[in-house]
Amino acid sequence: MKKPEEILEYLNQKFGEDQLTLERGDIGEPWILVPASMIRDLSKFLRDDSELRFDMLMCLSGLHYLKEEELGVVYHLHSTKLDHYVTLKVRVPVEEPEVPSVESIWKTADWHEREAWDMVGVVFDKHPNLKRILLPDDWIGHPLRKDYVQQEFYQGIPTGE
Amino acid sequence: MVEILDNIDQREMVINMGPQHPSTHGVLRLELVLDGEIIKKVTPNIGYLHRCFEKYAEQMDDYSKVIPYTDRMDYVSAINQEHGYVLAMERLLEIDVPERVEYIRVIMAELQRIASHLLGIGAFGLDLGAFTPFLYCFTEREKILDIFERTTGARLLYNYMAVGGLMKDVHPEFKTDTADFLKTFRPKIKELNDLLSYNDIFIKRTANIGVLPKQVAINYGASGPVLRGSGVQWDLRKNDPYSIYEKFDFEIPVGMGEMGTLGDCWDRYIVRVREMEQSLRIIEQALDGLPEEGDVTEAVPKRIRPKNGSIYTRSESPRGELGYYIESNNSASPYRVKARAPSFVHLGMLPAISKGSLIADLVAIVGSIDIVLGEVDR
């Protein structure tokens, strides 16, 4: 069982310093900020390494940071075998919202990534079936973006009140 | 046009099951590719009940105003949905909840678990053509709803929990009402077993169907009865205890492949039946320990304004791991609320476990994972 700090130290030995940073807010849990390009390799390592064994992706959430003009993806991992937790966060600019998919590592990510694409518009690279999941295929925009404006009509049907 | 006709495999047929179909438990469309009666591919199409709960949550000017919306996610276990949300908020704000509140919450949550499982079990039987057990289940469920109604005033969507406490205390006869229910309900489980669980036709329809192996279940992020049906001893009430569940003595029933293969529909079903017995044990202990006095609203903060930060908290809803990811930014409304709904994850597994089965068995598989579309679509 490792604490987030220990997990970071362990990962730094493997991936080199300066790549990953442990961040925390004023309250709540800390998270490890991961460069987008690294996320798939890192996830595979987290799942397969004998000292980490993160076999369960509990949750994957997409976020929009309006001020920073960035999109975020948050991964909550748990190891059912070793009973430890870690939170990973990836941030990418809104103009190039590409994050490698982790669907091949944890199957849970399949629908969760589709949801994050649908709701905030993160493009998951190499996802086998990246299309909208909750909204119709021809919907315009990503509703959970902070600057989202709802289309007035959908196929001739008013969407407002 | 010619090109399209050339590419058609004439043995294959594409059929839509739903969105309005009695066995899909709500508005769900399953796109089936069939070879005769055999399913070659299933594609679940969801979103018919999508209300964008998460957007609503962001637009509330108070964290407490999100609670009624959580009710509407999994509307057959509203108490558990609220419980998950208030737990997350309490961890974010580091609020200590009075003991009496915790006890009442546990009793309510377990009553709700029984009510939800009764609906799940009854509807599952109904899907397979067993109409009578459904009515038996509903009679019992009604008694639980009566208890809820007397306390909260509502029968389905309660809005009962508050961050740090409860909206109001339980009604004066709550203890005796609940104790009466426990007494009358125990023998009913045996009756249900005789009627449905060990019914020969029911076993033939569910054993060896929709087998979910252990490793697949974990990789897909399964939880709750679906995961336990595959023989994994995993219950957040024990493995990642929240509230006061550590104080109670109860077991985690798991599937054992009694009627066929481990992880089949029957295993998932029987886990729910046995869980109801365990819930009764928890309620019994909680009723004994319930402190007589105490103000259930004393720890409720007047104003909620968390600093910058985020939290992910999970709890065991009747369907599995219900998680809330909350990000706050020092204002009165949440920056982001993401609900990780167990039904959403479980429905994602459907293509993997129903490939190669018959159409009639697909009905059994969908029933056995016990989805609620309100929670899938949010």
pLDDT in tens, B193-236: 888 888 888 888 888 888 888 888 888 888 889 999 888 888 88
Q: Taking CA A105 as the corner, what is the angle to CA A41 and CA A35, rounded to the nearest 5 degrees? A: 35
**List of residues 6+ apart from A90 with CB closer than 8 A:** A33, A34, A35, A36, A39, A72, A73, A74, A75, A99
User: Minimal CA–CA distance to A88: which of A47, A33, A135, A40?
Assistant: A33
Residues linked to residue B338 through DSSP beta bridges, in sequence order: B325
Span B173-186, average pLDDT: 89
CA B184 to chain centre: 24
Cβ contact B338–A61 (<8 Å): yes
Summarize pLDDT for B189-198 with one digit per residue, the tens. 888 888 888 8
What total of structural domains would you count in chain A?
Answer: 1
Residues 6+ apart with CB under 8 A from A10: A2, A51, A52
| Chain B residue with the nearest C-alpha to that of A109 | B220
Q: Could you tell me the pLDDT band of residue B142, with boundaries at 50, 70 and 90?
A: very high
Which of B162, B133, B160, B163 is CA-nearest to residue B147? B160
Candidates B220, B336, B377; nearest CB to A63: B336
- pLDDT at position A161 is 64
Question: Which helix (H) or strand (E) element contains residue B179?
Answer: helix B174-192
pLDDT band per the 50, 70, 90 thresholds, residue B6:
low
Sorted by sequence, the CB contacts under 8 Å of residue B214 that are 6+ apart come out as B230, B231, B232, B262, B263
CB contact under 8 A, A144 and B311: no
Contact between B355 and B42 (Cβ < 8 Å): yes
pLDDT tens per residue across span B258-280: 888 888 889 999 999 999 999 99
Tell which residue, A127, A18, A120, has the closest CA to residue A72: A120
Kindly give the pairing relationship between strand A98-100 and strand B12-17.
Answer: unpaired
ipTM score of the complex? Answer: 0.88
Residues of chain B with CATH 1.10.645.10: 51-349
Taking an 8 Å cut-off on Cβ atoms, the answer to whether B46 and A87 are in contact is: no
In eight-state DSSP terms, residue B319 is T
| pLDDT score for B117 | 92
pTM to 2 decimals?
Answer: 0.88
SS3 call for B191 = helix
The C-alpha angle A80, B242, A72, rounded to 5 degrees, equals 65
For chain B, percent of residues with pLDDT exceeding 90? 13
Q: What is the DSSP string of B68-129?
A: HHHHTTSTTSHHHHHHHHHHHHHHHHTPPPPHHHHHHHHHHHHHHHHHHHHHHHHHHHHHTT
- Domain of A15, CATH number, reads 3.30.460.80
The percentage of residues in chain B with a pLDDT greater than 70, rounded to a whole number, is: 97
**C-alpha angle with apex A117: B317 to A120, nearest 5 degrees?**
85
Q: B51-349: which CATH topology?
A: Cytochrome-c3 Hydrogenase; chain B (1.10.645)
DSSP state, residue A134: S
**Residue A63 contacts B where some CB pair is shorter than 8 Å:** yes
Domain span at residue A130?
Answer: 4-158
CA distance to partner chain B, nearest, from residue A10 (Å): 23
In chain B, positions 162-181, which contact chain A (CB-CB < 8 Å)?
Answer: none
- Determine which of B330, B345, B377 to mutate to test the interface with A (most A C-beta atoms within 10 Å): B345
Q: For residues B11 and B36, what is the distance between their CA atoms, to the nearest angstrom?
A: 7
Mean per-residue pLDDT over chain B, rounded:
87
> CA-to-CA distance for B269 and B318, rounded, in angstroms?
13
Asked if the C-beta of A38 comes within 8 angstroms of chain B's C-beta atoms, the answer is no
| Mean pLDDT of the B30-35 span | 87
Instruction: Report the b/e string of B156-195 with b at 16+ CB within 10 A.
Output: ebbbbbbbbbbbebbeeebeebbeebbeebeebbeebeeb
Record: contact A27-B308, CB cut-off 8 A: yes
Sign of CA dihedral B128, B133, B137, B142: positive
Residue B8 pLDDT: 65
Task: List per-residue pLDDT tens for chain A, 161 residues long.
Answer: 778 778 888 888 887 777 788 888 888 888 888 888 888 888 888 888 888 888 888 889 998 988 888 899 999 988 888 888 889 999 899 888 889 998 888 888 889 999 999 989 899 888 888 888 888 888 888 888 888 888 888 888 888 76
pLDDT of A97-139, one tens digit each? 889 998 888 888 889 999 999 989 899 888 888 888 888 888 8
Mean pLDDT of B360-371: 87
Which residues make beta-bridge pairs with A91?
A72
CA-based nearest residue to B17, from B53, B50, B52, B41: B41
Q: How many CB pairs under 8 A join A and B?
A: 101
Give the model's confidence band at B9: pLDDT under 50 very low, under 70 low, under 90 confident, else very high: low
